[in-house]
Chains A and B, each alone.
Chain A
Amino acid sequence: DQQVKQNSPSLSVQEGRISILNCDYTNSMFDYFLWYKKYPAEGPTFLISISSIKDKNEDGRFTVFLNKSAKHLSLHIVPSQPGDSAVYFCAAQRNYQTGANNLFFGTGTRLTVIP
């Protein structure tokens, strides 16, 4: 049961243009969302996050938008750079007053930024 879905396995974008990566989730108990970036032979690296009480969070070239009613979030990268080429994972976390604060991951989107 895949509770976090990334329906685009890959995305190619020209350098300098905007990259938009999408993510959908099904569990309404998720209240914190994260994007991780992964290079080959490395573990996922935290990129940006957003709490369910917000609809937008910005950090430099990276902005995450959250639409709770649609259970959808997106990551915008502007401008895209060749070094952004990696696999991007969307992840979600439940409010963990008790129990684990584990992450539920999507299947990833491979972003290729073409110079």
Chain B
Amino acid sequence: ETGVTQSPTHLIKTRGQQVTLRCSSQSGHNTVSWYQQALGQGPQFIFQYYREEENGRGNFPPRFSGLQFPNYSSELNVNALELDDSALYLCASSLMSGQGDNEQFFGPGTRLTVL
């Protein structure tokens, strides 16, 4: 069973640039969620994709956007980067079956630094 993988591991960008982060979900999972973890904080929900459609969104502006592909892998795109976007970006996959609780499995994250 392959776990959740993310790329790249680290990334440095400058203010105003655009960035794309990638995530491969765990085998058999159909749902991908993205979280932002700022230094000293807990992960904050950005959005979730289920069967290639956005299924929910946290309190993040529209310059944060995403995609989910037919193989359930996903991208997070951030436009017009700001200094406060510097954080660890975590991807989590799960199998949403409508049965209630669903454990989410996290990747190792991408550390984004905006200068």
Contacts and interface: CB of A to CB of B under 8 A. Distances in A.
Interface residues of A, number: 28
A44 B43 contact: yes
A108 B41 CA distance: 7
Interface string B36-58: 00001111110110100001111
A42 B105 CA distance: 12
A106 B11 CA distance: 26
Given A42-B108, A101-B31, A102-B33, A107 B41 contact: yes
B19 interface: no
Interface of A: 4, 6, 32, 34, 36, 41-46, 49, 51, 89, 91, 93, 95, 97, 99-108
Interface of B: 4, 31, 33, 35, 40-45, 47-48, 50, 55-58, 90, 92, 94, 96, 98, 100-109
